[in-house]
């Protein structure tokens, strides 16, 4: 099974050894940002609000992370919303807030960019570019982040196969940037009990086929607070390098994804259980 990716494109058969593949590079890629390391032998919990809403919101969340020894803050400022009438994010103002709070607390930041023309602006404020599920197939964006020197968190497309996912990452490496992390965030299936279907098998397959860090976004894959914990444990047990979870000081009034975000007390309990499970190290 290992190596199937390199064989699937018949026209390339035997000629191409993908840059993302274990055959090209056997050792794990480790992403280093400031003092934080993602991948390798340690796990990473990435947490933060769906959308950046205010400085106070980020301070509350960032302080909760810091108090637990966690360092990676997520928050969307350019938001890919299904409806044009939904909150679209604070844009550059939101990124500025993230930088301010992260600098004060010593955190690393992740935020989504939706087009290549947002790269220069975002690069001034954030440490890691997120490419969202809806843009996994935006090849011009993949090429453009490939030409930067910032790490990229690439989300699996809503209905992308693992091969398509890995080839999307290949675009980034091919254009010069090997600091790429993959994140499974659920795929569209017929199931309606969850927002998406968490494809846990993606984790061991991606770990086997690629040398890139593999994470699991338990919030967007499930859309339900009540099963975040077992899904996070499953992700770690399956070999994920980390987990992403959405948290918010007041989820009921969140401007996006209110239903799936943990409040601070819930986050505390979530983290304690993950930590006590012995799966996270
Ligand atoms: C997000 O993480 O903010 C997000 C929009 O997720 P996804 O692209 O996975 O839907
Ligand atoms: Mn969200």
Q: What is the CATH number of the domain that holds 247?
A: 3.20.20.70
Maximal CA-CA distance, the chain = 55
Pair of tokens at residue 95: 């990124």
The whole-chain average pLDDT of the chain stands at 95
Give the residues of the chain that fall short of pLDDT 50.
7
> What is the rounded distance in angstroms from the CA atom of residue 111 to the CA atom of residue 126?
7
Q: Whose CA is nearest to atom 4 of ligand 1?
A: 132
Q: What is the CA radius of gyration of the chain?
A: 18
Angle between helices 162-174 and 139-146 (to 10 degrees): 40
Pair of tokens at residue 3: 């190596």
Residues 67-99: tens digit of each pLDDT: 999 999 999 999 999 999 999 999 999 999 999
Torsion angle of the four alpha carbons 45, 204, 179, 74, in this order, in degrees rounded to the nearest 10: -30
Tell me how far the alpha carbon of residue 61 lies from the centroid of ligand 2, in angstroms.
Answer: 15
Q: Which atom of ligand 1 lies at the shortest distance from residue 79's CA?
A: 5
Residue 7 lies in a domain: no
> What is the rounded distance in angstroms from the CA atom of residue 165 to the CA atom of residue 153?
12
Residue 6 lies in a domain: no
Full domain range(s) for residue 248: 45-276
Residue 35 lies in a domain: no
Residue 26 lies in a domain: no
Residue 23 lies in a domain: no
Q: What domain count does the chain have?
A: 1
Tell me, using a 6 A CB cutoff, whether residue 176 lines ligand 1.
no
Residue 177 lies in a domain: yes
Question: What pLDDT does residue 14 have?
Answer: 58
Residues 132-166: tens digit of each pLDDT: 999 999 999 999 999 999 999 999 999 999 999 99
Ligand 1 pocket test: pick from 48, 50, 135 the residue with the most ligand atoms within 8 Å of its Cβ: 50
Torsion angle of the four alpha carbons 140, 146, 148, 153, in this order, in degrees rounded to the nearest 10: 100
Question: What pLDDT does residue 7 have?
Answer: 45
Residue 183 lies in a domain: yes
- Around Cβ 59, how many Cβ atoms within 10 Å? 16
Residue 37 lies in a domain: no
Question: What pLDDT does residue 141 have?
Answer: 98
């Amino acid at each position: 099974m290992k190596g199937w990716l390199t064989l699937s494109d018949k026209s390339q058969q035997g000629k191409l050894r993908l840059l993302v593949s274990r055959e090209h590079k056997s050792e794990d890629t480790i992403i280093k940002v400031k003092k934080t390391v993602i991948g390798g032998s340690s796990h990473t919990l990435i947490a933060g609000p769906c959308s950046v809403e205010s400085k106070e919101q980020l301070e509350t969340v960032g302080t909760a992370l810091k108090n637990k020894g966690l360092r990676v803050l997520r928050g969307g400022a350019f938001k890919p919303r299904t409806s044009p009438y939904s909150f679209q994010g604070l844009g550059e103002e939101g990124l500025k807030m993230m930088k301010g709070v992260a600098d004060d607390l010593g955190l690393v930041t992740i935020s989504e960019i939706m087009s290549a023309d947002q790269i220069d602006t975002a690069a001034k404020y954030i440490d890691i570019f997120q490419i969202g599920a809806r843009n996994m197939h935006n090849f011009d964006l993949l090429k453009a982040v490939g030409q930067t020197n910032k790490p990229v968190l690439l989300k699996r497309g809503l209905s992308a196969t693992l091969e398509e996912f890995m080839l999307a990452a290949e675009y980034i490496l091919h254009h010069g940037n090997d600091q790429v992390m993959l994140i499974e965030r659920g795929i569209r299936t017929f199931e309606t009990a969850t927002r998406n279907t968490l494809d846990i098998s993606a984790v061991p397959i991606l770990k086997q086929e690629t040398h890139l860090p593999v994470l699991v976004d338990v919030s967007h894959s499930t859309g339900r607070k009540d099963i975040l914990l077992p899904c996070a444990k499953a992700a770690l047990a399956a070999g994920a390098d980390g987990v992403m979870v959405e948290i918010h000081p007041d989820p009921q009034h969140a401007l996006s994804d209110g239903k799936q975000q943990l409040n601070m007390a819930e986050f505390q309990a979530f983290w304690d259980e993950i930590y006590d499970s012995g799966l996270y190290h």
